[in-house]
Homo-oligomer: A and B are copies of this chain.
Amino acid sequence: MGVTKTEKFTEHQNQVARMAKALAHPARIAILEYIFSIDSCVCGDIVNEIGLAQPTISQHLKELKTVGLIKGNVEGTSVCYCINYDNWLLMKNMLSTILDLDTKSIDSCC
């Protein structure tokens, strides 16, 4: 198999998992941290910043773009990536629905 049985779960559970998955690789964490760190658009220098091959970075950027966490603007021969703030907030809200479940629970066993 290797195929997630999406239909067994709620739309919400699938979405939360999908967001978490976007963050589930150190290269994508590094990319996001870098975009945030320069506080503006990023162009090709992500490849230099992170020591992975250009097609690999391009692939990770695509994944982040697909879930909507970043957006890219073509600027001449290079592409300028930046955070999609609206979607970033949606993602945070999405994730907080599980992350903050602890605040409503009492550690009653184990």
Contact = CB atoms under 8 A, between A and B. Distances in A.
B102 A85 contact: yes
A70 to B, nearest CB: 9
A2 interface: no
Interface residues of A, number: 54
Given A13-B33, A52-B5, A109-B40, A83 B98 contact: no
Contact of A101 (B8, B36, B73): B36
29 contacts: A6-B26, A8-B27, A8-B50, A9-B26, A9-B27, A9-B29, A9-B50, A10-B30, A13-B33, A14-B26, A16-B23, A16-B26, A16-B29, A17-B24, A20-B21, A20-B22, A20-B23, A23-B95, A23-B98, A32-B101, A39-B108, A72-B110, A80-B110, A83-B102, A85-B107, A88-B102, A92-B99, A95-B95, A95-B99
